[in-house]
Amino acid sequence: MAHFAYYSEENYLKALYKLEQKGTRKLTNAALSKMLDLNPATVLEMVRKLEARELVSLLPDRSIQLTNTGRQKALVIIRKHRLWEVFLVDKLHYNWNEVHELAEQLEHIESADLVDRLETFLGFPAFDPHGDPIPDKEGHLKVLQSIPVTDCTPGKNYLVQHFAETSDAFLDYLQQVQVKPGIRLQVNGINAFDRSFNVSVGKRNMVISEKVAANILVLPEGANQ
Amino acid sequence: MAHFAYYSEENYLKALYKLEQKGTRKLTNAALSKMLDLNPATVLEMVRKLEARELVSLLPDRSIQLTNTGRQKALVIIRKHRLWEVFLVDKLHYNWNEVHELAEQLEHIESADLVDRLETFLGFPAFDPHGDPIPDKEGHLKVLQSIPVTDCTPGKNYLVQHFAETSDAFLDYLQQVQVKPGIRLQVNGINAFDRSFNVSVGKRNMVISEKVAANILVLPEGANQ
DNA sequence: ATCATTTATTTGGTATCCCAAATAAATGAT
DNA sequence: ATCATTTATTTGGGATACCAAATAAATGAT
Ligand SMILES: [Mn+2]
Ligand SMILES: [Mn+2]
Ligand SMILES: [Mn+2]
Ligand SMILES: [Mn+2]
C-alpha cells in the first residue's frame, strides 16, 4: 500500500463535482472552502496542487474547473461511496440516515476490483439508500428527472426519489417523519400564510415547511426512473 | 471524522503485538524497524510518540514494551483485520491469499460498531481465512495449541490450523500446492540428506522443505480447537 | 583490552494537509 | 468615484510520518 493516501485530494474532487452538479456557475475558492469547511488558504494551496496533477484547471477569472480526469476520479469516489452505503444498509442493517460518515471513510479504500465485487455482491443496485443513482464501472451516472415538492401539481401522485440536502439534521428529520425514497407523496394544498405544504406521505397527512418541500425531490408516479 | 487517521500508530501497535507473540524476548528498535520496513530513525521517533500516548513503555535497557492499553488497541485492530478478511473471502469470493493487503486498509476504518455488525453478518466466525483466531469484542484471543510440522510424530494424523509466515510469497506457494487450513496432513518421513519432509496432504503425497514444514502449524486430529 | 560490527540516536530534510493573521485585489453599494 | 465588504493570496507555522547521513553507544569476537 502506498504511504500517501491522498484522501484529501479525493474529497476535494468530490466537493468540486457536487458544486458543479448544483449548477454553481463560477466555482470559487470561497465556495469550495465553505463546502469543505476548510480555511481558504488551505484550499488555495491544495487547488494549486490539484492543478499540477492536472485534475483541475484554474481559469483566468480564478474560477476552478474539473478536468475530465478530475471529474472521472470524482465519479469513482461517488460510486464507491454509494455502493458502500448500500452495503451498510442492506447487509449490516444500519438505518439509511446513519451511513454517510462511514461511507466517507470506506470510499477511500484503494483497490482495483473491490468495489466491482461489492457491486456484484449487492446485486447491482441502481440507487443508494438516499435515492441517489450509483455511477457504473465506466463512471456513467443516470440523470434523474426529479422535481422538488415545491413544483408539484396538487392532487397528482408522486414518488419520493431523493433529496437535495444531505445534512445529518435533515436526514434525521426525514427519518423521524418517515419520509424515504420510494414512498408515495401528494400535495394537498399550500398554506398562503407561511407557504407551508399540506402533503400526504404514504397513508399519512402532514405539514412540511417550504424549506423541507424544496429539498424533497420526487418523480411523477409511473414515470421512468 | 477526525482528520488525522493515526493509521501508523495502529500499524506499529500491531507489529509490536506480533513480535511479542513470536516470543521475541527483547523487543528492539531494530526488530521493529525491520518488521515495519521503515528507517530506524523514523521508528524511534514514532516509538517515543507512542510512549507519550502511554501505548508503549521504553525500558531502561531500551527495549520496547506494549502497555495494557497498547496491547488492547492492537487486539482491536487484529480483530478488525481478521473479520474483514473473512468478509472478503466468504462474501466477495477473494482467494484467501489475496486479502491481506485489503484488510491492512479496512482494519483502520473507525466506527463504534461496524466491526461488531460485520461479525454478526458473518455469523461469528472463530477463525480468519488463514486459520488465525479472531479476538472477541473484549479482545480475548483463543490460544492455539498448534505445533509446526517439524514437531509432528510420523504416521500420526494432523489438521492444518494456520501458518507462522504470512508473506505473500509463502501464501502464494501454499495456494499453489493446495495447503490450506482444515486440510489433513501426515508426516511419512524425513529425508536425512536435506531434512526435507515427505508428507501426505489431503489425498496427495508431496515433499516440502524444512523451512516450509516449520511454518505450517497443525493440530492433532480430534484435538479440541 | 581492542577493534569491527551492529544498534541507537541525532540532525536536517521532505511530503501531505491543515491553520491564523496580514495583505492585496476585486466587488458592490452608494 | 469612494469606501466598505468580500474574496484571494501571501506568509509563517504546526502535526503526522517518513528518509538519509552522521555520530554515539553498545555488543561481540578475538
Ligand atoms: Mn452519502
Ligand atoms: Mn471522504
Ligand atoms: Mn494496516
Ligand atoms: Mn489473516
Across the range B65-92, mean pLDDT stands at 98
When divided into structural domains, chain B yields a total of: 2
Across the range A215-221, mean pLDDT stands at 96
% of chain B exceeding 90 in pLDDT: 90
Q: Which of A37, A84, A89, A91 to mutate to test the interface with B (most CBs of B within 10 A)?
A: A91
pLDDT attached to residue B222: 82
Write out chain A residues lying below 8 Å of B104, CB-based.
1
Q: What is the CATH classification number for the domain harbouring A17?
A: 1.10.10.10
Ligand 2 center–CA A20 separation, angstroms: 17
Ligand 4 center–CA B84 separation, angstroms: 9
Note the CA–C1' distance, A18 to D10, in angstroms.
29
Ligand 4 center–CA B95 separation, angstroms: 12
Identify the CA nearest to B45 among candidates B7, B8, B4, B5: B8
Indicate if the pLDDT at residue A1 is higher than 50.
no
| A51 belongs to a structural domain | yes
| A18 belongs to a structural domain | yes
pLDDT attached to residue B2: 45
Q: For residue B220, give the 3-state DSSP assignment.
A: strand
Nucleotides of D under 7 A from a protein CB: 6-12, 15-22, 27
Indicate if the pLDDT at residue B144 is higher than 90.
no
Across the range A87-97, mean pLDDT stands at 97
- Domain stop point among A36, A66, A96: A66
Mark yes or no for CB contact A1/B117 under 8 Å: no
| B213 belongs to a structural domain | yes
Across the range A52-75, mean pLDDT stands at 96
User: At A109, is the pLDDT very low, low, confident or very high (cuts 50, 70, 90)?
Assistant: very high
Q: Which nucleotide is nearest to B41 (CA to C1')?
A: C9
Q: Which of A12, A84, A109 to mutate to test the interface with B (most CBs of B within 10 A)?
A: A109
Q: Using the CB atom, is residue B38 less than 7 Å from strand D?
A: yes
pTM here is: 0.94
Could you report the per-residue pLDDT of B10-56, keeping only the tens digit for each? 999 999 999 999 888 899 999 999 999 999 999 999 999 999 999 99
In b/e form, how buried is each residue of B158-183, taking b as 16+ CB within 10 angstroms?
Answer: bbbbbbeeeeeebbebbeeeebbbee
- Domain stop point among B42, B66, B90: B66
Mark yes or no for CB contact A110/B111 under 8 Å: no
| B188 belongs to a structural domain | yes
Question: What residue type is assigned to position B219 of the chain?
Answer: L
pLDDT attached to residue A224: 67
Domain of residue A8 covers 2-66
| B194 belongs to a structural domain | yes
Distance CA A86, CA B222 (A): 42
% of chain B exceeding 70 in pLDDT: 97
Q: Which nucleotide is nearest to B62 (CA to C1')?
A: C8
Ligand 4 center–CA B179 separation, angstroms: 15
| B164 belongs to a structural domain | yes
Across the range B146-170, mean pLDDT stands at 94
| A98 belongs to a structural domain | no
Could you report the per-residue pLDDT of B185-215, keeping only the tens digit for each? 999 999 999 999 999 999 999 999 999 999 9
Indicate if the pLDDT at residue A88 is higher than 50.
yes
pLDDT attached to residue B12: 98
Name the pairing type of β-strands B204-208 and B147-148.
unpaired
| B49 belongs to a structural domain | yes
Nucleotides of C under 7 A from a protein CB: 6-12, 15-22, 27
Q: Which nucleotide is nearest to A48 (CA to C1')?
A: D9
User: At A4, is the pLDDT very low, low, confident or very high (cuts 50, 70, 90)?
Assistant: low
Note the CA–C1' distance, B2 to D14, in angstroms.
16
- Domain stop point among A40, A66, A92: A66
- Identity of the residue in A101, A109, A118 whose CB atom sits nearest the CB atom of B105: A109
Q: What is the CATH classification number for the domain harbouring B203?
A: 2.30.30.90
pLDDT attached to residue A222: 82
Q: Would you call A196 exposed, middle or buried from its count of C-beta atoms within 10 A (0-12, 13-18, 19+)?
A: middle
User: At A39, is the pLDDT very low, low, confident or very high (cuts 50, 70, 90)?
Assistant: very high
Distance CA A171, CA B203 (A): 58
pLDDT attached to residue A69: 97
pLDDT attached to residue A225: 58
User: At B89, is the pLDDT very low, low, confident or very high (cuts 50, 70, 90)?
Assistant: very high
Across the range A197-201, mean pLDDT stands at 97
Mean pLDDT of chain B: 95
Mark yes or no for CB contact A1/B104 under 8 Å: yes
Mark yes or no for CB contact B1/A101 under 8 Å: yes
Write out chain B residues lying below 8 Å of A88, CB-based.
114
